[in-house]
Amino acid sequence: MKSDLINYIVCPKCKSKFHLKSTKSQNDEIEKGTLICSKNHKFPILDGVPRLVVDDEKNFEKTESAFSSKWKTFNKSYHNKLWYDKQRKWFLDRFGWKTLPKFLNFLNKCDYILDAGTGVGNSAHLFSANKNSMVFAIDASESVLFANKKYGKIPNIHFLQADIRQLPFKKNFFSFICSDQVLHHTKDTKTSFINLTKHLRKNGLISIYVYKKKGPVREFSDDFIREIMVNKSEKECMKFSKAMATLGQSLSKINKKITITEDIPTLKIKAGTYDIQRFIYWNFLKCWWSGDVPFEQSIATNFDWYFPKYAYRHTPEEVKKWFSDVNVKISHFNEIESGISVSGKKL
């Protein structure tokens, strides 16, 4: 933890200021210590990361644990440059920036940025391109340890373990908030989104991506399998996730396409020509596999779908209403098979 972080954060419980008690430091980095607020709420600093999660509800802990397990197992794969570049391009496409220079031009107008659900920190690294801004990258899981290890020396990034629903920041603080592929894993997607907007200042931009609700057969199989898997051990779900990735890979090897000659509205299947593996994946069963990434990342993608307690899906109409309800004007809306990417300005 950089020592100047204390100037920007507040107690997530009572919103009072912190004072710092450092027990181990090196140069300007606090490796171990305690944050204590004026009402005597205490939060540890361990391995250079302040631990500010206050929600101890069991279902939340299960989700947090699921992602901690994922990143502990797969963090090196997600720090791979090919993966980083692929994800950056996907991010720019989904949120309408299209090119990196356009996004960097936007970042140059931002001062305080919140990366709400940073994972292993790749998004925080992207957002830190404007050296005059300050990026606060949070995650409820222990992924922040790997993020901090990889990117923590960058002067304008602060990594914190914190919960989106109880943020350690003042309201109306950020000029840009991004929560990409995260909110649907919280206890309530809508209220988590609303909470984020409270920390966005007027004319600030918020960008989110949430899972999209799919056809009834895929939704049924997701609910049926997840109800079983969330009660399994990490090892058991990892084994199952590998089996799903292997199934996806085997289906892909068929290397055939299927043509649907007309829409099937009841199943939400549109007419068109599909690769067999992707047709089954989008409409019937999540058996993710992609030849563009290492096989272990296909396992990880299945795991972070089946193992977390929370993995909600939403309709475009729902998401649009969230923005309308909090007086955030949508500036970009993108809907793809997997999810919905939206940006909006707070009025």
Identify whether the C-beta of residue 9 lies closer than 8 Å to the C-beta of residue 15.
no
Helix (H/G/I), strand (E/B), else coil: 211: strand
Q: What is the pLDDT of residues 318-335, one digit of tens each?
A: 999 999 999 999 999 999
Residue ranges in the chain modelled with pLDDT below 70: 56-72, 74-75, 77
CA-closest candidate to residue 133, choices 233, 204, 51: 204
Strands (E), the chain: 18-26, 29-37, 42-46, 49-50, 112-116, 134-139, 157-161, 174-180, 200-211, 257-260, 272-275, 328-335, 339-346
Please tell me the predicted confidence (pLDDT) of residue 66.
62
Please tell me the predicted confidence (pLDDT) of residue 27.
85
Q: What is the pLDDT of residues 161-201, one digit of tens each?
A: 999 999 999 999 999 999 999 999 999 999 999 999 999 99
Identify whether the C-beta of residue 306 lies closer than 8 Å to the C-beta of residue 225.
yes
Please tell me the predicted confidence (pLDDT) of residue 26.
87
Q: How far apart are CA 28 and CA 26, in angstroms?
A: 6
Q: What is the pLDDT of residues 70-85, one digit of tens each?
A: 666 766 767 778 778 8
Domains of the chain: 1-48 (no CATH), 53-212+316-346 (3.40.50.150), 216-306 (no CATH)
Reading the block at residue 174, the tokens are 């950020």
Helix (H/G/I), strand (E/B), else coil: 126: helix
Longest C-alpha distance within the chain, in Å? 68
CA atoms within 13 A on the CB side of 110: 29
Please tell me the predicted confidence (pLDDT) of residue 75.
67
Please tell me the predicted confidence (pLDDT) of residue 80.
76
Please tell me the predicted confidence (pLDDT) of residue 131.
94
Q: How far apart are CA 176 and CA 111, in angstroms?
A: 8
Please tell me the predicted confidence (pLDDT) of residue 274.
96
